[in-house]
Structure 1
Amino acid sequence: MTDSKSSEPEDYQHVPRDISGMPRDQPAGSYNAPHQHFRGQLLYAISGLMRVKTEHGLWLVPPNKALWIPPGIVHDQLMVTSVQMRTLYVSPEKSKEMGSACRLLEVSALLRELIVAFVSEPVEYDTDGKGMHLAALILLQMEGAATVPLVIPWPSDRRLLVVCSAILAHPESPRTIEYWADEVGASSRTLIRLFVKETKLSFRQWVQQVHLAEALHRLERGEALGSVAHALGYASSSAFTALFKKIMGESPRAYRSRK
């Protein structure tokens, strides 16, 4: 059933069901330009790594996580690797229960299997059949899913945009906030204040989020943990593992074993 379903998001926005499920496979490097949907979106892939950006933040979405995107939020998508996407579109009414902000969610083994099964159902599934039961269980699982605090908040101040864009392009760079202050013609005190004001994170915390996002990318490519830690400037694998586990809730090795 999945192979015969449309891979065009617009075909799923106005169906008379609480949830609609779309299969879509995209190659590495493909890019979906900024867009928005009438429905809320649970962006999930059973394999591959996606990068999603809105005006407020940037997320990397690995296979054991999903990104909740409320209705009307403009976002783009970059396929960091080849991706087997299994997206859910949720009606505006049901979307209210998920909140009005983008969130990275844990995807349990049960939720994963529910999504895979649901996407194989017809778009307008039987309201008394399997599809309706799967949809109800998915909504319960989504509402109870834990939020993962892995987001790279995106600023609007022009000076911070220069700094953040440069760090994102070269996350391995050890450059300090004093260096960046000189680069953009501001004092380090001003940049420190701006980071907290615009991203709600300190400079160090923001860079850590970038490091975690880059680590997901490198782990997805199969790089060794020691190589990843060294490339990102950590003194040892154990130091990086501690940071990874604190935010992701599991060690890099455990994450990779579950991919």
Structure 2
Amino acid sequence: MGKPSAFSFTAAAPELPNAELQALSNSKGPSVVAVWRETRPGARFPLGPRETDWHSHLRGQLFCVVSGLIHVRTRHGSWMLPPNRAGWIPPGEPHSASIAGAMSGWMVFVAPKASHQLPDRPCVISVNALTSQLVQRVAMGTEQRSQQPQHRRIAAVLLDELCRSPQEPLHLPMPRDRRLLRIARAFISEPGDRRTLVQWAEWAGMSSRTLSRLFMADLQVSFAQWCQQARLVHALERLAEGEAVASVSDALGYATPSNFISMFRRSLGQSPRRYVAALRTLEH
């Protein structure tokens, strides 16, 4: 993961509605600003495949994909956003993102004073039907309506629902130790690499016991758990791009597709084929 560079919004600014532009640059006004975006023909503010450079926002940002996939990178690591999960970026947190596949979804900008109710680090949370409906209601409000008591109550309920949403294990943390970071970057570049813990330790010039201990101390997960999470993140991106399950399984170094399917189901609660089918249904 590269280091954050300049934080500029000029590339995206022409595509954003007024409420979104104001939310990015102003901490005053409504505590919650919501924007709904989609790819239907004639949509005023369409979404689609794109990549953003490193940047940050004055407000906290929540974004959810109804279809498609977002890969978000932060200084704490990276994570994938499949449909019906929301990514949370605290105020001032540098991040970049890439969007794969046709997409519709929403963004919610939370004023700094209200953001303390949400986690202080980037994360992924579950989104239910009520949350999506509340976002649509808030997004329909004009600047004048946003000051009305009824609109403020709906926004407050939305914020409460977001604060109560459980976090999802889709985050791929990156180690701070330079030796571990070298291993992590090498693995991410080749997620199908099946070297053992001992072999990776030898490659990095340390003992396997040291590698295991440092990884657990740095990230609070074992090296094997981290590698599995890295493969899952990579698999989600390739599946969203339309690659066959067997091809993804082979690229990630699994002996058989069934082994890959078992890992996927344990992690996300559904098979890759069911996940892809749901993704395609939402896109149409």
Structure 1 residue 61: Cα displacement:
1.2
Do structure 1's residue 16 and structure 2's residue 36 form an aligned pair? no
Select 2:186's aligned residue among 160, 166, 175: 166
Name the amino acid aligned to 2:26.
Answer: Q
1:137 matched to which residue of 2? 157
Select 1:74's aligned residue among 62, 73, 94: 94
**Corresponding residue pairs, total:** 257
Mapping of residues 117-128 of structure 1, within 5 Å: 117-123=137-143, 125-128=145-148
For normalisation by structure 2, the TM-score amounts to 0.79
Distance, in Å, in 2 between the alignment partners of 1:57 and 1:257 is: 28
Q: Relative to structure 1, is the Cα distance of residues 175 and 82 closer, same or farther in structure 2, using a 3 angstrom cutoff?
A: farther
Q: Which residues of structure 1 form unaligned runs of 5+?
A: none
Q: Which moved more, 1:127-136 or 1:108-117?
A: 127-136
Distance, in Å, in 2 between the alignment partners of 1:48 and 1:7 is: 21
Distance, in Å, in 2 between the alignment partners of 1:129 and 1:137 is: 12
Mapping of residues 109-258 of structure 1, within 5 Å: 109-123=129-143, 125-128=145-148, 131-258=151-278
1:156 aligned counterpart, secondary structure: coil
1:37 matched to which residue of 2? 57
Q: Which moved more, 1:55-64 or 1:41-50?
A: 41-50
- Deviation string for 1:133-181 (max 9, x for gaps)? 4423322321222211121111111111111111112212222233322
Q: Relative to structure 1, is the Cα distance of residues 65 and 5 closer, same or farther in structure 2, using a 3 angstrom cutoff?
A: same
* Identity rate, percent: 34
- Contact 1:36/1:74 (<8 A) preserved: yes
- Deviation string for 1:166-220 (max 9, x for gaps)? 1112212222233322332222222222211111111110011011111111221
Distance, in Å, in 2 between the alignment partners of 1:104 and 1:218 is: 19
Distance, in Å, in 2 between the alignment partners of 1:47 and 1:85 is: 7
Q: Which moved more, 1:239-248 or 1:141-150?
A: 239-248
- Contact 2:23/2:33 (<8 A) preserved: no
Do structure 1's residue 65 and structure 2's residue 65 form an aligned pair? no
Structure 1 residue 124: Cα displacement:
5.3
Q: Relative to structure 1, is the Cα distance of residues 25 and 161 closer, same or farther in structure 2, using a 3 angstrom cutoff?
A: farther
Distance, in Å, in 1 between the alignment partners of 2:250 and 2:16 is: 42
Distance, in Å, in 2 between the alignment partners of 1:77 and 1:124 is: 32
Distance, in Å, in 2 between the alignment partners of 1:225 and 1:11 is: 39
Structure 1 residue 59: Cα displacement:
0.7
2:97 aligned counterpart, secondary structure: strand
- Contact 1:59/1:213 (<8 A) preserved: yes
Q: Which moved more, 1:44-53 or 1:202-211?
A: 44-53
RMSD, aligned α-carbons: 2.7
Distance, in Å, in 1 between the alignment partners of 2:170 and 2:127 is: 14
Name the amino acid aligned to 1:18.
Answer: S
Q: Which moved more, 1:42-51 or 1:123-132?
A: 123-132
